């Protein structure tokens, strides 16, 4: 059977990079990117989909004979706190719509990203296990914890092959983050390369699990490629990249930019971060589908700085600066 992939939320931090990897894997004509708005200069099939509209998802699935759906659309942790009930509605309604269309049209595989935001004070802070108690304190985390259970429900009840990863904070040079609690770890590199001071909204010792974009994308594709019988976790898999605090990133950056200045001005996002794990136990993902991260903080830092310098040199400086 030919694989035809639909990505919902394809313009976001992860979606824009994942779309390119899936195009390389399956061929341009077999990947349909979609989001609320079109993307300027996008090469390939693009459809406007508001995923709260089930009919629109169904229309595109039928039109392109879609066999896999990557459902990335969501309102993230920090942004979500501005309008909690709206966040719940959007995160849940879009997931229900994807699950229902997938069930009705026998979609082969569905990807639903969860997050370390599912954990709260009831989970151990260090090496948090896959099956830790989930008592998230943000509406985003609540929606992801519920979503994981719905993913498992559709698998158990209807045999729908939904797969999920709890991403840590994702760091990449390709795109900008969309309102999460770990966004500082992308912004800080932009500021370093632009030789500007950085105001950090977390405390200097706020250690959080993070992952480099390349690792996050590879994990997603490896999970989706794994044989069905190897997937034993149907809620969501923990995956670890590396854990670090703002102070540790600053130390790495100063090896390249010794004059880099940072002010710590913790805001409400520090409260969110304080309830999330410091580090993650990803042994279930390692055992079931061979997960292993490649990027440590040193490699992330040298790669981020090199790639961002190239980007700014090529003239995207104004555009990128505007987005910060
Ligand atoms: P993002 O905010 O950058 O992108 C989300 C995209 O979804 C945006 O392009 C937005 O326009 C789109 N969207 C929002 N509402 C929509 C709707 N109703 N219909 C269609 N599209 C809609 O997010 P991201 O960082 O790319 O995250 C992708 C997924 O990964 C999300 O589900 C997020 O919860 C999860 N995740 C991300 C991180 C991270 O660090 N980036 C960490 C953990 C989990």
| Domain that residue 60 falls in | 5-170+212-238
Same domain, 181 and 130: no
Same domain, 199 and 57: no
Residue 284 lies in a domain: no
Which pLDDT tens digit goes with each residue over 231-254? 999 999 999 999 999 999 999 999
Average confidence score pLDDT of the chain = 96
| C-beta separation of 74 from 90 below 8 A | yes
Residue 67 lies in a domain: yes
Separation of CA 280 from chain center: 16
Cα(59)–Cα(37) distance, integer angstroms: 17
Ligand 1 centre from 120 Cα, in Å?
21
With cut-offs at 50, 70 and 90, classify the pLDDT of residue 315.
confident
- Stated as kind and residue range, the H or E segment containing 165 is strand 165-167
- pLDDT, mean of residues 169-191: 95
pLDDT > 70 in the chain, percent: 97
Same domain, 137 and 257: no
pLDDT > 90 in the chain, percent: 96
Residue of the CA atom closest to atom 22 of ligand 1: 73
Which pLDDT tens digit goes with each residue over 90-124? 999 999 999 999 999 999 999 999 999 999 999 99
Residue 290 lies in a domain: no
Q: Is the CB of 167 under 6 A from ligand 1?
A: yes
Same domain, 200 and 165: no
User: Looking at ligand 1, which atom is closest to the CA of residue 171?
Assistant: 40
Strand partners, 47: 34
Residue 50 lies in a domain: yes
**Residue 86's pLDDT is what?**
98
Q: Is the CB of 15 under 6 A from ligand 1?
A: yes
Same domain, 122 and 264: no
Same domain, 107 and 158: yes
* Beta-carbon count within 10 A of 53 CB: 13
pLDDT higher than 80, residue 323: no
pLDDT higher than 90, residue 205: yes
Q: Is the CB of 108 under 6 A from ligand 1?
A: no
**Residue 179's pLDDT is what?**
92
With cut-offs at 50, 70 and 90, classify the pLDDT of residue 320.
low
Residue 285 lies in a domain: no
| C-beta separation of 98 from 153 below 8 A | no
Residue 288 lies in a domain: no
| C-beta separation of 243 from 210 below 8 A | yes
- Tokens at residue 59, please? 């229309």
Residue 289 lies in a domain: no
**Residue 1's pLDDT is what?**
83
Same domain, 123 and 256: no
pLDDT higher than 70, residue 128: yes
pTM of the model: 0.96
Out of 140, 167, 184, 295, the active site residue is: 140
* Beta-carbon count within 10 A of 59 CB: 14
Ligand 1 centre from 93 Cα, in Å?
14
Q: Is the CB of 115 under 6 A from ligand 1?
A: yes
Read off the DSSP letter of residue 179.
Answer: S
pLDDT higher than 90, residue 324: no
Residue 257: exposure state from Cβ atoms within 10 A (0-12, 13-18, ≥19) = middle
pLDDT higher than 90, residue 317: no
140 is catalytic: yes
Residue 178 lies in a domain: yes
Q: Count the domains in the chain.
A: 2
Same domain, 178 and 109: no
Same domain, 147 and 33: yes
- Tokens at residue 100, please? 């229902």
Same domain, 234 and 247: no
**Residue 314's pLDDT is what?**
87
Same domain, 104 and 141: yes
pLDDT higher than 50, residue 322: no
DSSP string, 254-276: HHH-TT--EEE---HHHHHHHTS
Same domain, 161 and 16: yes
């Amino acid at each position: 059977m030919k694989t035809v992939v639909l990505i919902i939320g394809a313009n976001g931090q992860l979606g824009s990079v994942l779309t390119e990897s899936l195009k390389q894997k399956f061929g341009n004509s077999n990947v349909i990117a979609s989001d609320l708005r079109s993307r300027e200069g996008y090469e390939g099939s693009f459809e406007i989909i508001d995923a709260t509209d089930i009919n629109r998802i169904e229309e595109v699935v039928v039109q392109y004979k879609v066999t896999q759906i990557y459902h990335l659309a969501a309102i993230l942790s920090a942004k979500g706190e501005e309008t909690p009930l709206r966040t719940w509605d959007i995160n849940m309604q879009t997931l229900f719509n994807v699950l229902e269309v997938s069930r009705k049209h026998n979609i082969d595989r569905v990807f639903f990203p969860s997050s370390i935001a599912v954990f709260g004070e009831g989970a151990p802070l260090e090496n948090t296990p896959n099956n830790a108690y989930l008592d998230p304190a943000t509406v985003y985390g609540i929606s992801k914890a519920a979503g994981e259970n719905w993913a498992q429900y559709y698998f158990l009840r209807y045999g729908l092959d939904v797969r999920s990863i709890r991403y840590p904070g994702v760091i990449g040079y390709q795109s900008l983050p969309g309102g999460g609690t770990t966004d500082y770890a992308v912004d800080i590199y932009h500021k370093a390369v632009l030789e500007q001071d950085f105001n950090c909204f977390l405390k200097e010792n706020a250690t959080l699990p993070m992952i480099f974009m390349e690792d996050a994308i590879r994990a997603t594709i490896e999970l989706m490629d794994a044989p069905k019988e190897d997937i034993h976790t149907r809620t969501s898999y923990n995956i670890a990249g590396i854990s670090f605090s703002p102070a540790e990133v600053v130390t790495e950056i100063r090896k390249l930019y010794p004059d880099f200045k940072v002010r710590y001005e913790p805001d409400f996002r520090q409260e969110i971060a304080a309830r999330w794990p410091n580090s993650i136990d990803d042994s279930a993902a390692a055992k079931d589908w061979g997960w292993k991260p490649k990027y440590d903080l040193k490699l992330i830092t040298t790669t981020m700085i090199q790639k961002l310098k190239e980007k700014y040199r090529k003239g995207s400086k104004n555009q990128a600066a505007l987005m910060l």
